[in-house]
Structure 1
């Protein structure tokens, strides 16, 4: 069995690396130079370029990543994928059932949202560990925009998928780089607390009209006397059981003195299996029965365009948040390899589009499920197909037995799963290091907690972007006084907001009435405004009788061209220094 797993791992590794070009390398500029047979450079127009790409085998293989691992697929790999897919299904099923109420939908809709992702991602996905399906973040945001209307939720998923696919097709993944890790972490923590808050009423068995962090907790204390003790008791016991089962794998009971013995290995595997199946175990214990609901009832006969008008900013926020989650997890598992962001965006978009026709809410990758998939030894994305087949079986067999799963048990499962996504360590680290990231992190978290998670994400990102722009204008200028001249050297590229700092330093140095050497060798880029302002300052100083020598790269001098006429400019500090000494 060890040899089988090892050969599967080797095949998967080779299958991933073999002939696997960087996807972004296939998205070349539409006009480029190309050598003909005589070695002469000729310009290739856009139409010819597109036709050449469409005829390229690598172009199509990059868009169907399954073509890399299918030729190398073996029975041993299938066994590994089957084990991983089955194990992951035990996590997907209870999570899907638990997240559906967060979106205001009946329990079976969580299973519907988990069916197609594995099949589609196996064809278009690039990361074998990823497990795509419903998540707490997407579920609660879907409710915020679509409410409990299944038709609106499916329409939201459809247009979310279209937007994500277009972003992937246009290679717009770089836009997500403007959302920093502290903002993402604060956003996730705020959502986790919001999700926990939304389940408090179910845990205590109390019904009262309230949504939002403050309203729910105020309502809880006002209605605390109406608490259902059986519901609260079963919920608390469930959380304790979940905690103990999860910690079971860290306990060495029954493993024996030799950790390498067969007994110890078998016991460890059993403990690990129980720990990742904890949610499923709790739900099965409390399961009773339900009426069947046809999947055809999910989508109503209303015009999707009319629903679209009601979704508003959800059409922007859901694609953004889904892609942030998905690409963060894909980047984590890509390791040292470059993540193929555009292909992942397109794959997620196709999953959303197809899923909307079977009543799926918005989905994305889940870190918890992906971790289970990876630790189960998945070999290729085909493991998701196995998961999907098991979920189809669960829908067929179990859909008539969902209604009587106690609400308190579902609340307990969701609350427990959310605790692990609250990151307190980041906040402590930012406070200790007095990092400037603390401000956008706190704004994102507090706005997300007390107002709305979407506003927190947008405003936190804008604040962090403004801070980055502000810091880029804080140009550090090194001033060194020599015997016969003064050297002035900025530490970075010159952009128009920062050139005033350099101009002030030049004017101050000019008061010494010694030659000034301005070294721009570290400034690899000068925008138009900064270059014209700098040149005007140099000419003004020279008119006052102070000689200024400018050192810049040859390509910079060629780009500036005419404005340098009449100035003393050189391509190296040594040449400029010799000129001053001479």
Structure 2
């Protein structure tokens, strides 16, 4: 025992354990000049993408544009040390910005506090190895949420394309007021926004049709393709730069037909504690009241942030043939948000779009994030004065083009073809997210949970005739299934004349709880009163031990179904006759399964 106690700290401090907690130590000793070149290209490319997107996503979150940049660099540095995916980039995203706008009342103080608390929750989940909780959010719920978010975010930007002001943020009111005031559209904003949309869509389509570069081709051909690829990849930055130059030209001529971003504070954010209270005009809002105001956001924001990051990391790990550590990803995400709150960040997560750009540019290690983070810091230090001239219509076009692909219309058709019941959580999530995001997500998870519990409460049971009645559950038996099993036993064995002996084949039963054991005890007594037997076969060792420990009266067990049949002395004709049964029509289905 003492030896084991001495070995425990050694294992905790072993180099292998340190490597697990600091994944940078795995790839840093092997780092090469070739990797540096590719990481540099990837970092610059992602940096040119993240700066305009950060400005735009701050608008979605309802915060001043500089907070988008404040949120864009901490994840780059933290993930380089702690991340297990070479491709993932952390920063502001459309979905997280939408969630933030739902909980922080357009107030940076609430946004920063939400970042701090989300980081603490995510960090705790990682340390406690609670990543498995994410498995309870089903794919239909995720698809329903992301599709609704795509529609909500896109329509939220229509007002900036049209140059409308004072439009409510609630989706249904937003739709009503936008169409009611469409006559107030500013021609300059609308024209610029549509042009930016057309250019972004054109460059996106062009990128998908650029042939791969081959070394055997002429140098001029390779260079031209590389220029086209770089232009299409950095399209967000180029469109925003073009729009800003156009707006600046009009400003020099003494007129301004566009709605501009306006003054942006220059310089890096101060490194300070997150606001644990908030001073208002005549009072102070204490920490406890701020937490109450954040409400469901303290559960929804960290959960969805982890879900988005893990989903992206898994997708690119599978695509590029490497593995990720789920709990380590939770630690990286939690520490990013925790430290980000000290530099005025709002909650961040993995970005699918920027991660895709990172992977396509051939990034080799998370070190590419160091270049991206440095570009964001340089932008904050020296370029914020230029952000004044960026038209809001151009940023709106960037957002719409970024979130439009998130709407997956094919999922409805796919689920209709594969499993129609899964359309229920999908549609519930999709529709309720237009009312309130948190209601849609929670309702979708609850509906998915009810569907899951229904299959536990009504387990499928295969019935067949072997001289005696053979009942074979095809999954575990837990307490919600007690009544279902009792009803099946009564209907097919005890309520018939004469009563029939039953063999309960538990070959597929991998677990059984106490309530089910007590239910089986009652059934054994009922069978004994009718003068017939209930016999068990094929019990796995740990399930058998549970039943033996309960010391059930009249309990009989045989290792296999054949031995159980011999024990009953049944005369078999060598043929297996499958009965028809339906729980709703007193008939067995042709498959011999009841549920």
Distance in 1, matches of 2:268 and 2:361, equals 31
Q: Which residue of 1 aligns with 2:325?
A: 340
Does residue 373 of the first structure (1) align with residue 358 of the second (2)? yes
Does residue 537 of the first structure (1) align with residue 523 of the second (2)? yes
Q: Given the alignment, which residue of 87, 90, 93 partners 1:129?
A: 87
Aligned to 2:142, the other structure's residue is in SS state helix
Q: Which residue of 2 aligns with 1:282?
A: 239
Mean alpha-carbon deviation: is it higher for 398-407 or for 268-277? Answer: 268-277
Q: Given the alignment, which residue of 536, 543, 552 partners 1:564?
A: 552
Q: Given the alignment, which residue of 396, 403, 425 partners 1:411?
A: 396
Unaligned runs of at least 5 residues, structure 2: 249-261, 279-286, 571-595
Residues 510-556 of structure 1: CA distance to partner in whole angstroms, max 9, x if unpaired? 43444322211111211111122123212321232113322123332
Residues 419-458 of structure 1: CA distance to partner in whole angstroms, max 9, x if unpaired? 1111111012123445211011001010001x11111011
Are 2:268 and 2:380, in contact at CA under 8 Å, matched by a contact in 1?
Answer: no
Residues 158-207 of structure 1: CA distance to partner in whole angstroms, max 9, x if unpaired? 11111111111111111111101111111011112111122111110111
* CA 1:516–1:155: 2 relative to 1, 3 Å: closer
Q: Given the alignment, which residue of 201, 216, 219 partners 2:159?
A: 201
Q: Which residue of 2 aligns with 1:326?
A: 309
Q: Which residue of 2 aligns with 1:554?
A: 541
Q: Which residue of 2 aligns with 1:358?
A: 343
Mean alpha-carbon deviation: is it higher for 236-245 or for 136-145? Answer: 136-145
TM-score for both structures, normalised by structure 2: 0.85
Q: Given the alignment, which residue of 515, 524, 527 partners 2:510?
A: 524
Aligned-pair CA distance for 1:269: 2.4
Are 1:107 and 1:403, in contact at CA under 8 Å, matched by a contact in 2?
Answer: no
Are 1:479 and 1:487, in contact at CA under 8 Å, matched by a contact in 2?
Answer: yes
Q: Given the alignment, which residue of 10, 18, 21 partners 1:60?
A: 18
Residues 434-491 of structure 1: CA distance to partner in whole angstroms, max 9, x if unpaired? 5211011001010001x11111011101111111101222222222223x32222111
Aligned-pair CA distance for 1:50: 5.3
Are 2:412 and 2:423, in contact at CA under 8 Å, matched by a contact in 1?
Answer: yes
Aligned-pair CA distance for 1:259: 9.1
Aligned to 1:322, the other structure's residue is in SS state helix
Does residue 183 of the first structure (1) align with residue 141 of the second (2)? yes
Q: Given the alignment, which residue of 447, 461, 468 partners 2:452?
A: 468
Does residue 170 of the first structure (1) align with residue 135 of the second (2)? no
Aligned-pair CA distance for 1:104: 2.1
Does residue 83 of the first structure (1) align with residue 41 of the second (2)? yes
Q: Given the alignment, which residue of 194, 200, 207 partners 1:236?
A: 194
For residues 83-122 of structure 1, what are the structure 2 equivalents within 5 Å?
83-122=41-80
Aligned-pair CA distance for 1:406: 0.7
Does residue 269 of the first structure (1) align with residue 269 of the second (2)? no
* CA 1:291–1:556: 2 relative to 1, 3 Å: closer
Kindly tell me the number of residue pairs found equivalent between the two proteins.
537
Aligned-pair CA distance for 1:116: 1.6
Aligned-pair CA distance for 1:284: 0.4
Distance in 2, matches of 1:475 and 1:130, equals 41
Mean alpha-carbon deviation: is it higher for 260-269 or for 452-461? Answer: 260-269
Distance in 1, matches of 2:555 and 2:65, equals 75
Distance in 2, matches of 1:391 and 1:296, equals 12
Cα RMSD, aligned residues only:
2.5
Aligned-pair CA distance for 1:573: 1.7
TM-score for both structures, normalised by structure 1: 0.87
Aligned-pair CA distance for 1:67: 0.8
Q: Which residue of 1 aligns with 2:578?
A: none
Q: Which residue of 2 aligns with 1:213?
A: 171
Are 1:490 and 1:502, in contact at CA under 8 Å, matched by a contact in 2?
Answer: no
Distance in 2, matches of 1:145 and 1:257, equals 50
Q: Which residue of 2 aligns with 1:13?
A: none
Residues 23-58 of structure 1: CA distance to partner in whole angstroms, max 9, x if unpaired? xxxxxxxxxxxxxxxxxxx6998x767534423322
Q: Which residue of 1 aligns with 2:438?
A: 454
Aligned-pair CA distance for 1:138: 1.5
Distance in 2, matches of 1:70 and 1:409, equals 40
Q: Which residue of 2 aligns with 1:12?
A: none
Does residue 161 of the first structure (1) align with residue 106 of the second (2)? no
* CA 1:429–1:521: 2 relative to 1, 3 Å: same
Are 2:52 and 2:237, in contact at CA under 8 Å, matched by a contact in 1?
Answer: yes
Q: Given the alignment, which residue of 463, 474, 479 partners 1:491?
A: 474
Mean alpha-carbon deviation: is it higher for 243-252 or for 117-126? Answer: 243-252
Q: Which residue of 1 aligns with 2:592?
A: none
Q: Which residue of 2 aligns with 1:308?
A: 291
* CA 1:310–1:580: 2 relative to 1, 3 Å: closer
Aligned to 2:60, the other structure's residue is in SS state helix
Are 1:107 and 1:402, in contact at CA under 8 Å, matched by a contact in 2?
Answer: no
